[in-house]
A and B are shown apart, each in its own frame.
Chain A
Amino acid sequence: MPNELIEIKNIIKVYGQEIKNEVLHGFSLAIKEGEFVSIIGPSGSGKSTLLNILGTLDTATSGQITINGEDISDFDEDKLASFRNKNIGFVFQFHHLLPEFSAVENVMMPSWIEKGTAVDDFKERAYELLDLVGLKGFEEKLITKLSGGQKQRVAVARALMNKPAILMADEPTGNLDSETTMKVYNLLRNINEELNTTFVIVTHDRHLAAKSDRVIEMIDGNIDRDIYKGKKGENEEWQELAPVYCRELQGVNVD
C-alpha cells in the first residue's frame, strides 16, 4: 500500500483583510505516492488555490498540511522556499521560463538555486532531461527561439531537475493545440510511470482529466466528487466525466 505523500486537514483559505472571501471551506484530502491526480472544476471553484497551497506557493489560512512526511503548516517563507526547491516541481500554463537564459540553463535553474552556485556540473542531467522530453539538439537555444510546445517541455524538464517527489501543474496544456496537448500529457504520464513521481494537475479539460488515476472535482470551494478510475471506462461516474473518451476506450464509434 503506497504511503500518503500529501495530507491536508480542514484546510481553509480566506482572501482579503477587510472584505473576507473564503475560497476553500475546510476539507481534507490525501494523495498517495505515485498517484496521477487531476483537479477539475469551474473557474472560481478554488482548484488553483488548492494547487498553490499543495505546492507551498500559497499558505492556508488554517488547517494542517503534511507533505512527504513533513508538517509544513508553520514553515516560514525561506523554509518553504527551500522545501519547494527540493520536493516540488512546477509546470504552469504559461511556461514561465526565464527568457534571458537558454533551455539547458533554465532546466539547471532549480539546482543552481539549491546549491547557490551557477555551475555547469548539472549540465549532464539537464541534457538527459531535455532528451527525455524530446528536445535533443535544442539544449543551448534561447527560450525565445522555441515554440510553445517546446517551451512547455523545457518547463517539464526543469520541474524534474531536482528529482522532486511531486510535480504540480496548473493547466499545463492550456495554451497548446490538441496535438501538442496529447504529446505533453503522454510525456507527463510516462514520467509518472517511469519515475513514480506523484502528479497533481489542475485542468478544465475533462478528457485530459479522464486519463488520470483519480479526478477531484471542486465546486465552490469544496470537493464535490473524488473519483478513482476503476476498470477502463466501466465506472459510471467516470463515464459521466468524459463520456466521449470512455466510449472511445470501449471501442464505440463516437459518431
Chain B
Amino acid sequence: MKFEIKMAWRFLKSGKTQTFLILLGIIIGVAVQTFLGSLIGGLQKDLVNQTVGNSPHITILGEDQTPRPVLVTDHDITRIITYSGTEEGIKRWREKIENLDRNQDLTAVSPVIEGSGFAIRGSNNQSVILRGVELDRADRIYNIKNRIVEGKKDISGNSILIGVELAEELELVPGDSLQIRSAGEVTDRFVVSGIFDLKSGELNKSWIFMSQQRAGTFLGIENKISSIELQVKEVFEADKIASNLNDEIDGIKAENWQKNNQQLLTALQSQSSSSIVIQVFVIIAVTLGIASVLAVSVVQKSRQIGILKAMGATNRSVALVFLLQGAILGVIGSILGSLSGIGLSQLFVSLIRTADGDPLFPVQIEPLFIMLSIFIATMAGMIAALIPARNSAKLSPIEVIRSA
C-alpha cells in the first residue's frame, strides 16, 4: 500500500466521530442528489412517455402535404376534422419503407393510408378517421394488441377495430356490422372485430383501424400511402433524425413531435435546470463540509505532520495524505449515498401509489448519472482537501516539535 494511503486511512479511522459525521453529511448529500435525480428523471420520462409513448415521434408525409383541417358535411352535421390529405401521398413507398427498416435510429416504421369518413348506424352517425395499417407495424407505435378491451385484434378482410367511445356512441359490440361512408361518397359495410382503448378520448372516438389494402380500395388510393409513422430510440433526437430523413429521402417531409409540443419541452427544460441548481448547491454544501472537517483535522494532526516531516516525509507527501483523505471520504460517502438514494427511490415507488396501486410514476435510476455523482463527489472531496493539504505542506516540523 502506498505510504500516503495508509496514513490517510489511519488518520480517518482514528478520528471516528469526526469521520462518521462528515461521511453522514456526504451520504445525505449524495442520497438527496441521487433520489432527486432519479425522481425527476423518472417523472420526465413518464411525462414524455405519456405524451409521445404511443404516438409517432416522426411523421413522414408527401411533399407539400400537411395535415390540414377539412370541413366535412353530412346531412345537418358539420365538423372540422384533421387528417392528412390523400391527394398527394407518398409514392414508391415500399422502397422507402425498406430503407427506413434498415435505419438503426428507428424502432417502429408504420405506413398508413388515412382518410376521413362517417360511421353510420341507424340515424346516428359519427365522423371518423379511417386508418389503413399493417397491424404488426402499427402495434409497435400504438400497442393496439394489448389495448383491445373487447373482441379480438383482427383487421383482415372487412374486419375493423373501433375505439371504446365510438362503440358506446353507436352501441356497437364485436361482431356487429357498421356502415361507413368515405369522404369520396363511397359507402361500404364492415364488421367490428374488436374494440380498443388508446387512453385518448379523441382517438377512441374517431379512429378506425382497417387493413391497408381495404383502406386503399375503400378510399380509392392506389400505389401510394398517406404517411409513414415512425418511432425513434432516443425521443429527444427526433428532430435531428427527422431533418436527416428530409435530407436523405426525396419527395417527402418529415415532421417531429417536438414541433407540436414546445410547451412540454419548455417545462421539462425548466425542471431539469432547477434540478441541476439544487444538485449544484448540494455539491457545494458537501464540499464545504469536507473542507471544514479536513481543515480542523490539519490543525488536530499538526503534531503528527511535524513528526512525519522530521522523519523525512516531503511536503508533497504530507499534502497527499490530506488530499487522499478527501478522496476517500468522497468515494465512500458517495457510494453509500448513491445506494441510500436508490433505496430511497425504491421506497418512494413502493410507498407512494395511485388509487389503482400503481406507482405514481416510475423512478428512473440511471447508472451513468450515479457514476457521475460519485465522480463529482470524489472530485469535490479532493478539491475540498486542497486548502487543508496546502496548509499541512506549509507546516514546519520545528514549530511542532518545539511546541510539543
Give residues in A with beta carbon < 8 Å to B: 48, 52, 57-58, 77-78, 81-86, 90, 92-94, 96-101, 109-110, 112-119, 158, 170
B313 CB within 8 Å of chain A: yes
Chain B contacts of A90 at CB under 8 A?
A: 310-311
Question: Are A119's CB and B1's CB within 8 A?
Answer: yes
Contact B1 A118 (CB under 8 A): yes
* Minimum distance in angstroms from B308 CB to a CB of chain A: 7
Q: Is the CB of B311 within 8 A of A110?
A: yes
What 5 pairs between A and B have smallest CB-CB spacing? A85-B312, A118-B6, A100-B14, A94-B404, A112-B3
Can you add 17 more A-B contacts, CB < 8 Å, to A98-B304, A101-B10, A114-B312?
A57-B398, A78-B314, A78-B316, A81-B312, A85-B313, A96-B310, A96-B401, A97-B307, A100-B10, A100-B14, A113-B313, A116-B3, A117-B1, A117-B2, A118-B1, A118-B6, A119-B1
B147 at the interface (CB under 8 A from A): no
CA A170 to CA B7, docked complex, whole Å: 26
Which residue of A92, A101, A113 contacts B312 across the interface (Cβ within 8 Å)?
A: A113
Interface size on B, residues (CB 8 A): 30
Contact assessment for A115 and B312 in the assembled complex, using a CB-CB cutoff below 8 Å: no
A120's nearest neighbour on chain B, judged by CB, is B1
User: CA of A86 to CA of B311 in the docked complex: distance in angstroms?
Assistant: 9
Q: Are A84 and B404 in contact (CB under 8 A)?
A: no
Interchain CB contact under 8 A, A113 and B308: yes
When C-beta atoms are compared, the residue in chain B nearest to A170 turns out to be: B401
B213 within 8 A of A: no
List the B side residues contacting A116 at CB < 8 Å: 2-4, 317
Q: Given the known A-B contacts A96-B303, A100-B14, are A48 and B314 also in contact in the complex, defined by CB atoms under 8 Å?
A: no
Check B3 against A84 for contact (C-beta < 8 Å): no
Q: Are B314 and A115 in contact (CB under 8 A)?
A: no
Cross-chain contact of B397 among A57, A93, A101 (Cβ < 8 A):
A57
Q: In whole angstroms, how far apart are the Cα atoms of A119 and B307 in the complex? A: 20
- Whether A99 and B1, one on each chain, are in contact in the complex, defined by CB atoms closer than 8 angstroms, is no
User: Is the pair B310, A57 in contact by a Cβ cutoff of 8 Å?
Assistant: yes
A-B contact pairs, 26 of them (CB 8 A): A48-B402, A52-B398, A57-B398, A58-B398, A78-B316, A81-B309, A81-B314, A82-B312, A82-B314, A83-B312, A84-B312, A85-B311, A85-B312, A92-B404, A96-B401, A98-B307, A99-B14, A100-B11, A101-B10, A110-B311, A113-B312, A113-B317, A114-B312, A118-B2, A118-B6, A118-B7
> What is the bound-complex CA distance between A58 and B400, given in angstroms?
12
**Distance of A145 from chain B, by nearest CB (Å):** 14
Task: Give the secondary structure class of B's interface.
Answer: helix
Complex contacts, B311 vs chain A, CB 8 Å: 84-85, 90, 109-110, 113, 158
Chain A residue numbers with a CB within 8 Å of B14 are 99-100
CB-CB nearest in chain B for A53: B398
B340 within 8 A of A: no
Chain A residues near B6 (CB-CB < 8 A): 112, 118
B315 adjacent to chain A (CB < 8 Å): yes
Q: Which residues of A contact B401 (CB under 8 A)?
A: 57, 92, 96, 170
B contact residues around A82 at 8 Å (CB): 312, 314
Q: Which of B2, B308, B404 contacts A93 (CB 8 A)?
A: B404
Chain B residues whose CB sits within 8 angstroms of the CB of A101 once the complex forms: 10
- Cβ of B96 within 8 Å of any chain A Cβ, yes or no, is no
Does B68 belong to the interface (CB within 8 Å)?
no
Q: From residue B103, how far is it (CB to closest CB) to chain A in Å?
A: 56
Interface membership of B353, Cβ < 8 A = no
In the assembled complex, B233 has its CB within 8 A of some CB on chain A: no
Smallest CB separation, B297 vs chain A (Å): 12
- Least CB distance from B243 to A in Å reads 57
Contact with A along B134-157 (1 / 0, CB 8 A): 000000000000000000000000
A-contacting residues, B1-37, CB 8 Å = 1-7, 10-11, 13-14
In the assembled complex, the Cα of A85 lies from the Cα of B330 at a distance in Å of 32
Most chain A C-beta atoms within 10 Å of own C-beta, residue among B3, B11, B13, B315: B3
Question: How far does the alpha carbon of A156 sit from the alpha carbon of B3 in the complex, in Å?
Answer: 22
| Complex Cα–Cα for A119 and B2 (A) | 8
CA distance A206 to B2 in the complex (A): 44
Smallest CB gap from A161: residue in B? B311
| Cβ contacts under 8 Å, A118 to chain B | 1-3, 5-7
**A117 CA / B317 CA spacing, docked (Å):** 11
Q: Within the complex, what minimum Cβ distance (angstroms) separates B318 from chain A?
A: 10
Q: Which residues of A contact B11 (CB under 8 A)?
A: 100
Residues of B close to A112: CB separation below 8 A? 3, 6
Establish whether residues B315 and A77, one from each chain, have CB atoms under 8 Å apart when the complex forms. Answer: yes
**CA of A115 to CA of B1, assembled, Å:** 11
Cα A114 to Cα B306 with chains together (Å): 16
CB neighbours (8 Å) of A83 from chain B are 312
User: What residue in chain A is nearest B404 (Cβ atoms)?
Assistant: A94
Q: Please, which residue of chain A has its CB at the minimum distance from the CB of B15?
A: A100
Contacts of B1 in A (CB 8 A): 117-119
CB distance from A56 to the nearest CB of B (A): 9
Give Cα A48 to B402, complex, Å.
Answer: 9
Which of the listed residues A48, A100, A101, A116 has the most CB atoms from chain B within 10 Å of its own CB?
A100
Contacts of A170 in B (CB 8 A): 401
Across the interface, name the chain B residue whose C-beta is closest to A55: B310
In this complex, what residue of B is CB-closest to A77? B315
B 362-404 contacts with A by CB, 8 A: 397-398, 401-402, 404
- Rounded to whole angstroms, the CA-CA distance of A84 and B311 in the bound complex is 7
In the complex, the answer to whether A113 meets B304 with C-beta atoms within 8 Å is no
Q: Max chain B CB contacts within 10 Å: which of A57, A84, A116? A: A57
Chain A residues, CB < 8 A from B5: 118
Q: How far is the CA of A113 from the CA of B304 in the complex (A)?
A: 13
